[in-house]
Structure 1
Amino acid sequence: METEKSVGTILREARLAKGLSLAEVEKGTSIRSKYLEAVENDAYDITPGEVFVKGMIRNYGNYLGLDGPALVDLYKASAAGKSAEDVRSAGIREVEKVRLNIQLKDPRDIGSGTGRFEMPELPMKQIAMGAVAVFILAAGYFGIPKAIDYFSSLPKSEPKAEQQVEVPKAPVILDKVQVEMEAADQCWLEVTADGKEIFAGMLQAKDKKVYEAKDKLIIKYGNIGVMKITVNGEPVNLQGEHGVAVKTYTRLKQE
């Protein structure tokens, strides 16, 4: 019985049949030649990782006009010692979900932070005036004219201008989810928009990408620590994150 060809052999024979060099494939797929050569030789131990391997096989196969997902199934079957059919229906496990939810503070809470009405504090000058008035009135009938003269001579305070409070605008309800990113170094990327894969390849340093979906974006990062990411206009704090990560981004919905 003839031994089934390996994934690397299938890819190498397809590339040679098309008369393509590894350098030409690198330019067309954004996958470095050394990784392409490693995949062709089934030397997966020198590749960046499992997520990279599957993405490279799919992207490389599609570039050569082959069935990329079928080659990934063949690779997974070979690695697990099973037939390709046994693993063909295995889905992608999402390891982390990120939901965006922007809440607007009630305008009544502006200032105090409680939303409750609070009695304003009286100025010390007015308190002192009240105390003096009580004292003079208590002194007797003959002290009243002097008290009246005293209060008449006090300078009148100018009314304070009414403080303008700016009420925040209601949030814009987005009809899509948008992710903008910039790589500081090499990072493998695989992007699925609303269930359809739209990109799989390597980003180089200073590469910028923008991806959109109607409801959901699932993005697999090979090295998330080198990425600068903005989701629906809001920067994402990636402090402490590094290595392989899978993120799910959804659009802001009306509650």
Structure 2
Amino acid sequence: MSIGNSPGNSPEDERPFEDVSDDVPEEARPSIGHVLRQARITAGLTVDDISSATRVRIAIVHAIEADDFAPCGGDVYARGHIRTLARAVGLDPAPLLEQFAAERGGRSAPTPAAPLFEAERIRPERRGPNWTAAMVAAIVAVIGFVGFTMVKGGDDGASEANVAEGSTPTASESASASAEPVKPAAPEPTDSAIAAVPQDKVTVQVSATEGRSWISAKDHNGRSLFDGTLDQGESKTFQDDEKVDLVLGDAGAIQLHVNGKEIEDDFQPGAVERLTYTQGDPQVG
């Protein structure tokens, strides 16, 4: 794939790419970042070009070319970025991955067969239970709770007014008041019922229930809604008129509610998932 230079953003160094040979001593071998940068320059590409083609953030591309892999978020993600950037500039990623493993004291565990940064796709969702009845019941419960609170507040206000005026409740009134059964408070609405409103938008709630995970969310125009890390117990809700695009850095730690419905999936711990949801997702069971 040929990618043209962006206007006003030319490659900063036109020196020819230095090939990495197995015969070169390890101490004289160029670093991973240097090899990737020289290959990009030789291909006539800018950092913006590479970021647009691979969807690797510009800051991470700069960091890797400077041999700083900390922003990648771990060795698993760093190997995935190295593989993606190498292929984008026409290099074989295998020697770079071997060099990366050697510099960290030995070969790391093999990367899963599924690519970490596969092309964007829309995952078909399983048919779940009918949530319509549950949502209606939750709304009715909320209305009942609000009504009970208003009535109870009015009664308390009247009692406080009587006490302020100097009246003292009689023994019979106290006994009848103590004998009156206490009305149970209605349950509060569930997260899924809240996430389903309004119905003319795409609503996605992301919760880090099993651990810490980096996530990215964009609207249908590609504008970023969120790009950061959720700690365990935190959640974020995103809305758009047409669709919401997600990237989950550790999908096994995430629980999703889409348009008021819990998404049940077999996401594996440490797996990176790219998801897209629209107003029709998930299908009504």
What TM-score, normalized by structure 1, do the two folds share?
0.40
Higher RCO structure, 1 or 2 (CA under 8 Å, sep 6+) = 1
What TM-score, normalized by structure 2, do the two folds share?
0.36
